[in-house]
Amino acid sequence: MTVNCLRLNMEVGKFTWEKSRGSDAWVREKLDHGFASISWWSKFPFYNLRVLHTSVSDHEPLLLNFYKVETSKKSFRFRFENVWLREPTFVNEVKEMWAALPNIHLLFKLLEVSSFIARWGRTFFHKFRENVKQQKANLDRLVDRTDA
C-alpha cells in the first residue's frame, strides 16, 4: 500500500546536521525533514516546522508548532464591495497586510486577509453611514431655503 506524503516546509533553519564546527572541514547538511500524509495535512494545515539549536549533539531537533485558528461563533456572510477599490487606502492596506504575514500556508494568509478586509469594510461602512447621516442633515437644513 502506497501512502501519499507531503514534505512539510521548514520555516526556520536550513541545516539539521553539522560536523567539525569551527574548523576548515566544517560541513552542514539538511538531513532531517518533516513529512505528513495528505489526510494529516488536511486536518492540520496551519503549522510551523523549525530547526532548534543544541550544543550537545551534531543533529538539530525539529519543532512542529500548530497555529490556533480562531473561529467566531457569530456567523456572518462576508461580501466584498467593489466600491472599496475606489478608496485610496484600501489596496495599499491589503497589500501591506498580505506582505506582513509569514509565508506559511496560503489558506492561513487568505483567512487572515479576509478577516482584515471584513474589519476594514465594517469601519468603512460605519464612516459611510455617518457621512450619509451628516449629508442628510445638511439637506434638511437647506431644503426650505429660498435664496439662489
Last residue of a domain, one of 17, 40, 68: 68
pTM: 0.43
- Cα 115 to Cα 62: distance, rounded to the nearest angstrom: 31
Which residues, other chains included, contact 38 with Cβ-Cβ below 8 Å and sequence gap of 6+?
A: 4, 5, 6
27 or 138, which is more confident? 27
- Cα 126 to Cα 97: distance, rounded to the nearest angstrom: 21
- Check pLDDT > 70 for residue 72: no
Number of structural domains, the chain?
2
Q: Are 79 and 95 in the same domain?
A: yes
Enclosing domain of residue 2: 1-68
Q: What is the mean pLDDT of the chain?
A: 80
> How far, CA to CA in Å, does 98 sit from each of 58, 72, 78, 84?
37, 21, 18, 17
What is the per-residue pLDDT for 76?
A: 62
